[in-house]
Amino acid sequence: MLETFRNLGIIAHVDAGKTTLTERLLFVSGAKHRVGAVEEGTTTTDYDPLEREKGITIQSAAVTLTWAGHRITILDTPGHVDFTAEVERSLRVLDGAVGVFCAVGGVEVQSETVWRQADQHRVPRLAFINKLDRVGADFWGVVQELKRKLQVQPAVCTRPVGQGSDFRGVVDLVAMQFWPAEGDGRPLGPQPIPEELSEEAELGREQLLEIASHACDELLACLVENRPVSAELLNRALRSGTLAGKFVPVLCGSALRGCGMALVLDAIVRYLPSPLERPPVLARCSRTRREVLRVANSQEPLTALAFKTISESHGDCVLVRVYSGELRPGMKVFNASRQREERIGQIYQLMGARREKRSSAQAGEIVAVVGLKYTSTGHTLSDPDAPVLLEEIRFPEPVLSQALHLGKNVEEGKLAEALSRLVRDDPTLRAHTDPETGELLLSGMGELHLEVALHRLRRDFQLDLSVGQPRVAYRQTLAQAVELEYRHIKQRGGRGQYAVIVVRFEPLTPEQRDALADQHRAQGQTPDPMGLYFEERIVGGAIPQEYIPAVAEGFREAARRGVRWPFPFVDIQCTLLDGKHHEVDSSYLAFQWAAQEAFVEAVRRAGVVLLEPIMRVHLLAPARYLGDLHRDIARRRGTILHTLLERDRTQIQAFIPLVHLFGYASDLRNFTSGTATFSMEPDHYAPANQSLEDLRLSP
């Protein structure tokens, strides 16, 4: 049964045609009787009103179809860089992926980003080159970009017949058949290859056989001995090479015209893995902290990962990947991340917004569960008798904030509940109060991300809100290392407070921070997302063991709160070297306060460095604007990483401080007459040219 399951994601740059491809696959497989259109807002996966209004995918959505006796679950993921976290959590639970590339735009920047994410999760992939019927389509140019930009070996399994307005169909180089593009909505069935195309098809098959032979000794022997190669043997070789990551099968067609869809479904079934062919998932026993492996077997103890929550008026809907064991309605499970018992309400198979009730969910399946009270994204559900923890999903920190201003009739409690549900669904959103101004701030990954979040607060929760100007999420770190003794001693009659600590605070380089993070992971601990690390070197019991965690807690609390300015500190190592305690007057709270006050004093002595978020910006524009773009980047304090001229267009990659990118879309549109496009993603923090006083934040 499990060998017939396929869990895959559709990943790509925005506007590559992911949602249209998903619609066509549903239609060709018979899961839908009418093809939806993005322009009409009738697609299955873009069911949110805002997605239909903007014509883009904002949140990943699941659909299920059957093909050739296989059950295929597809997650249609967003293409916009602000919603990369949606792709990240989807790839975490998927067994395979289809990367979609526009035949005109080629391998664009966000395509590279999501491809790298799939590399990190070692997800086997297919490539589908779409929009071959568009003017300017260049199939072979995109194949070369796959090799150059993504560092993969393309195994071209289908090739186009004509391109642009001359596009007539595709040739299947595995079965040696021609699939015409014309039809009445459904693509016509396979036909013999026209005589005028046979020579090119034979050459293409020879090239495919040569690449596939690197994954199959039997196929290689056939080539050496000049024996014919059957389609069955070639498919086995392509599957073996795909699963091993030796090459990527490349297919092509037009999702809008329905050409090549059956070949994509065949390739998914033939070349992408089932849950049985993926490595066992590594978990950690909650009680002993020992590592255990969970295999895709329904007879094993339950292990499942919650990778997405959808807040609803009648309760949360939680998307879950079952790695081992079985889920059933009414059964009790253990949330090992929260150490709480949960009860499964109902289990559903998702088809976009539509749901089909299930009586159970087996290992290897992705389903939606309702009735869970304490479970959020990244939490592990396990058997109460064999509790284990899976590695949590890590998300990037937000880089942009906006102040939220309540209308006259908005209750603060209602807003707090709405924000709690919003942040629960999207872990890359943060809501917090500015300690200096008292303003409520919502932080996210970019301007579009915050716009979508604000829209949902107004639409789904009927909140009357206005917003302030976007703000940059600055950080601070110490300018230099400092060592000091701090004495927290207070005596006002009765029991006093006594804590003396000798501590060293030092800023961490990126290399030191990464090394400490790796060390924590090796010890089964979660690295601190802000890079705040604590070490104790107490000898001789100068400070009792029960008070040492108080020093670590006080240090982290003071660092995250900031000292003079409301920006959190990052990348600091605190080392507790020595100290003193009193048998009566010492307490956990006294040592916690001592650590907080010691950090404030350390900041005063060492000074601070303001850090600003630097964005990696990717620009694509006509070559004639190259000089204007370079000058504009310099004006924004940017650093050009590299420039590429290709097909009369220029591609530029640059580092630019986020503070200089507000309104960039409008500025770029104006001086390139709307011909340029760009995307940006957070890359790193770097010392800012401005001082803290320049930001008018001095107390």
Secondary structure of 198-214 in HEC code, one letter for each residue: HHHHHHHHHHHHHHHHH
Residue 557, pLDDT score: 93
Q: What is the mean pLDDT of the chain?
A: 86
Tell me the per-residue pLDDT of 458-490, one tens digit each, with 9 for 90 and over.
Answer: 888 888 888 877 778 889 999 999 999 999 998
Bridge-partner residues for 478, per DSSP? 608
Q: Where along the chain do its domains lie?
A: 2-277, 281-390, 400-473, 477-606, 611-695
User: Within 10 Å of residue 584's Cβ, how many Cβ atoms?
Assistant: 9
Question: What DSSP element (H or E) covers 347?
Answer: strand 346-351
Q: Is the pLDDT of residue 264 over 90?
A: yes
Residue with tokens 């978020």, as numbered in its chain: 613
* Mean pLDDT to the nearest integer, 141-151: 92
* Mean pLDDT to the nearest integer, 589-602: 95
Tell me the per-residue pLDDT of 518-542, one tens digit each, with 9 for 90 and over.
Answer: 888 888 778 888 899 999 998 888 8
Q: How confident is the model at residue 41 (pLDDT cuts 50, 70, 90)?
A: low
Residue 186, pLDDT score: 47
The model's pTM:
0.73
Q: How confident is the model at residue 56 (pLDDT cuts 50, 70, 90)?
A: low
Alpha-carbon gap, residue 86 to 90, rounded angstroms: 6
* 611-695 and 281-390 share a CATH fold: no
* DSSP state, residue 276: G
Alpha-carbon gap, residue 422 to 436, rounded angstroms: 24
E strands in 494-623: 497-507, 532-536, 572-580, 608-622
* Mean pLDDT to the nearest integer, 642-661: 86
Q: Is the pLDDT of residue 229 over 80?
A: yes
Alpha-carbon gap, residue 242 to 248, rounded angstroms: 6
Residue type, 696: R
Tell me the per-residue pLDDT of 613-624, one tens digit each, with 9 for 90 and over.
Answer: 898 888 888 888
User: Within 10 Å of residue 77's Cβ, how many Cβ atoms?
Assistant: 28
Residue type, 324: S
Bridge-partner residues for 534, per DSSP? 574
Residue 493, pLDDT score: 62
Q: What's the CATH code, domain 611-695?
A: 3.30.70.240
Alpha-carbon gap, residue 227 to 268, rounded angstroms: 28
User: Within 10 Å of residue 512's Cβ, how many Cβ atoms?
Assistant: 15
Q: Is the pLDDT of residue 149 over 60?
A: yes
- Cα four-point dihedral sign 661, 665, 666, 669: positive
Q: Which of 37-41, 393-397, 645-649 is least confident?
A: 37-41
Residue type, 16: A
Cβ–Cβ under 8 Å, residues 350 and 61? yes
Q: Is the pLDDT of residue 291 over 90?
A: no
Q: How confident is the model at residue 242 (pLDDT cuts 50, 70, 90)?
A: very high
* Mean pLDDT to the nearest integer, 125-147: 93
Q: Which of 78-92, 330-344, 462-476 is least confident?
A: 78-92
Q: Who's near 25: CB < 8 A, 6+ residues apart?
A: 65, 74, 261, 264, 265
Residue type, 669: R
* Mean pLDDT to the nearest integer, 210-232: 92
Residue 555, pLDDT score: 95
- Cα four-point dihedral sign 87, 90, 92, 97: negative
* Mean pLDDT to the nearest integer, 46-72: 78
Q: Is the pLDDT of residue 501 over 90?
A: yes
Q: How confident is the model at residue 698 (pLDDT cuts 50, 70, 90)?
A: very low
Q: CATH classification of 400-473, choosing from 3.20.20.80, 1.10.10.10, 3.90.1150.10, 3.30.70.870?
A: 3.30.70.870
Q: Is the pLDDT of residue 699 over 50?
A: no
* Mean pLDDT to the nearest integer, 499-505: 95
Q: CATH classification of 281-390, choosing from 3.90.245.10, 3.20.20.80, 3.40.50.740, 2.40.30.10?
A: 2.40.30.10
Q: How confident is the model at residue 697 (pLDDT cuts 50, 70, 90)?
A: very low
* DSSP state, residue 564: S
Percent of the chain predicted with pLDDT > 70: 93
Residue 541, pLDDT score: 85
Q: Who's near 81: CB < 8 A, 6+ residues apart?
A: 109, 110, 113, 445, 446, 679, 680, 681
Residue 634, pLDDT score: 93
Residue with tokens 């880089």, as numbered in its chain: 399
Question: What DSSP element (H or E) covers 465?
Answer: strand 465-467
Greatest CA span in the chain, whole angstroms?
A: 103
Q: What's the CATH code, domain 477-606?
A: 3.30.230.10
Tell me the per-residue pLDDT of 361-392, one tens digit each, with 9 for 90 and over.
Answer: 999 999 999 989 888 888 999 999 999 999 88
Residue 40, pLDDT score: 67
Alpha-carbon gap, residue 696 to 483, rounded angstroms: 30
Q: Is the pLDDT of residue 315 over 60?
A: yes
Q: Is the pLDDT of residue 561 over 50?
A: yes
Residue type, 49: P
* DSSP state, residue 449: H
Q: Token digits for 23?
A: 């619609």
2-277 topology per CATH: Rossmann fold (3.40.50)
Cβ–Cβ under 8 Å, residues 15 and 22? no
